[in-house]
Amino acid sequence: MNNRFTSKRFLVIDDQPTARDALRTIAQTVGAFSVEFATNYQDALYRIRNNTPDIILCDYMLGDGRSGQQLLEELRRFELLADETVFMMVTGEQSYEQVVSAVELVPDDYIIKPFSPDKLLLRLERILAKKAFFAAYYREKRRQEFERALAILEAKRDSEAARPYRFEILRQRAEIMLAKGDSQAAETAYRAILEAGEFPWARAGVARSLEHQDRLTEARAEIDRVVASTPHYFDAADVKARICMAQGEPEEAQKVLDEVAKKTPRNYLRKRLLAEAATLNGDTATAQAAMADVLANDTMPGAIQPEDKLALARSQVNSGDKISAERTLVGMRESEVQNLTLDGQASFAALMTIAAPERGKAKFAGLRPALISAALDNTARLDVTYAALGLGDHELADHQAHYLMASDEAKKIFGSARKLYALHGREKDFREIQKQVALRRIHHD
């Protein structure tokens, strides 16, 4: 019995009862006193949120279209899993190694069945040593003190104790650089990792860094390479889709996401991205189906945002189903609507005006001065343009169109904006706006 693990709280996540028992037995053999079970994905989330265990042993296959990898990613994204908690993936599939070697979000370690208690013990001891090594760094990272976190890594980097962790240090460094917005330094850091080995996650890191620098063609070349060589690295498909959208190629974005979303039917962040791509692509049916799925099935607490409901209403408006759009908007809670940002309020009023003019017009008119003077995001600007064109308010529509065409995302939303003008027989006016923006840009340069 090992005293070190006696006081630790273990959580075993596995949908198969015999496998669960086996894991518990092994955990008890290494000295675990407290071993809890989770029998499925939701149960695991609930237990981790309410009473975070010290050590999680999670089977890779959780059934019901879910994997341990998806659980891990969702836990990290919603910040439900502190860096201090041990997450060990357990799997009978040697092919999980292909996943771990590719993806960005990895467990502390993985272990392939069958394994002896001694082996698990050895692995857990090593993870605890790693956690101790990075303890000060984790603290600063959590406080978002990025400079201090980087300084800690730099100071430890060349020490003898750091030798087992050299890749982990390089990886953390690159991630922090990207998180603090220094995408050039992040690019250099990821390229340095690629010098040591062709890691798909590092190449995807280069692509993300280039994307942030608006070097889209180069970013696209890098991410194309990753997607082609590692089809099971699903996050790379998301990165590719974002880049394609920014390049004004929503068909390609949707194609990539469609394929991956079929393999990960319960990844709702991806479904949202798919809806965005489909909307830009004019595929209103796909956008609507994806957002309806998100709203019905994304049970992660706090995951559904008012923006999701606006996205559903947008897809309904775009497909001409004004009655459903109105129902979606009316269905939003009063408090939810009141707490919307100005962007959200603009979209809400605009979409309502399109879906049910008699219901939305007054609010839309009330917002008009703000819509002229404020800096809105591009999604809101597109909604406002749509509503204003319908009302015959050329001044408001053209004002938004100017900003849309002058923005960094002009390529991304160009097709959608042009279509709106065409819908109202104003293609010529749109071309004129486009020309003016281009001329102004030349004068500035």
Partner 1 sequence: MKALDLLASGIHDAKNQLFSAESLIAAAEAQHGIDLGEALFAIQSAAGRLNQTLAAYRQLRHEIRIALIPTVIDDLCEEVALDQRHHLAAGNIRLELDCHAPDAWPVDRELLTDMLNNAVQNAARHARSCVRLSCGEDAEGLWLCVEDDGPGFAHIPPSSGTGLLLAASLAEMHKRHGRQGRLELANDSALGGARFTLRLP
Residues that bind partner 1 (CB under 8 A): 16, 18-19, 21-23, 25-26, 28-29, 92-95, 97-98, 100-102, 112-119, 122, 126, 163-168, 196-199
For residue 161, report the phi and psi dihedrals to the nearest 5 degrees: -65, -20
Going by C-alpha positions, the residue among 53, 318, 102, 405 that lies closest to residue 225 is: 102
Q: Which is nearer to partner 1, 190 or 348 (CB)?
A: 190
The nearer residue to partner 1, 53 or 107, going by C-beta atoms, is 107
Question: In terms of CB distance, is 11 or 275 closer to partner 1?
Answer: 11
SS3 215: coil
How far apart are CB 87 and partner 1 at their closest, in Å? 16
Helix, strand, coil in percent for the chain, rounding step 5: 70, 5, 20
C-alpha 89 chain-centroid distance: 22
CA distances from 381 to 243, 282, 367, 388 (A): 21, 17, 13, 10
CA distance 95 to 324: 45
DSSP designation for 88: E
* Pick 111 or 355: Cβ nearer partner 1: 111
We find the least distance from the C-beta atom of residue 145 to partner 1, in angstroms, to be 26
Identity of the residue, 26 or 44, whose beta carbon is nearer to partner 1 in the bound complex: 26
Residue 146 near residue 105 (C-beta atoms within 8 A): no
The CA–CA distances, whole Å, from 113 to 105, 257, 286, 315, 422 equal 22, 32, 40, 46, 60
Output 94 or 335, the one with its CB closest to partner 1. 94
Nearest to 66 by CA among 326, 297, 396: 297
**Of 196 and 423, CB closest to partner 1:** 196
CB of 16 to partner 1, least distance (A): 8
Say how many residues make up the chain: 445
Which residue's CB is nearer to partner 1, number 130 or number 394? 130
- Residue 118 Cβ, how far from partner 1 at the closest point, in Å? 6
CA 338, 339, 342 angle in degrees (round to 5)? Answer: 90
We find the least distance from the C-beta atom of residue 288 to partner 1, in angstroms, to be: 33
Coil, helix or strand at residue 144 = coil
CB of 90 or CB of 404, closer to partner 1: 90
By C-beta, is 118 or 214 nearer to partner 1? 118
- Closest approach of partner 1 to the CB of residue 22, in Å: 4
Closest separation between CB of residue 262 and partner 1, Å?
17
Q: How far is the CB of 52 from partner 1 (least distance, A)?
A: 25
Is there a cis peptide before residue 306, judged by omega within 30 degrees of 0? no
CA–CA dist 204, 191 (Å, integer): 10
Could you tell me the CA-to-CA distances from 112 to 28, 56, 96, 103 in Å, in that order?
18, 15, 9, 18
Bridge partners (DSSP) of residue 88 are: 57, 109
Minimal distance, residue 133 CB to partner 1, in Å: 12
Instruction: Give the nearest distance from C-beta 169 to partner 1 in angstroms.
Output: 10
- C-beta pairs of 440-444 under 8 Å, 24+ apart in sequence: 440/406, 441/406
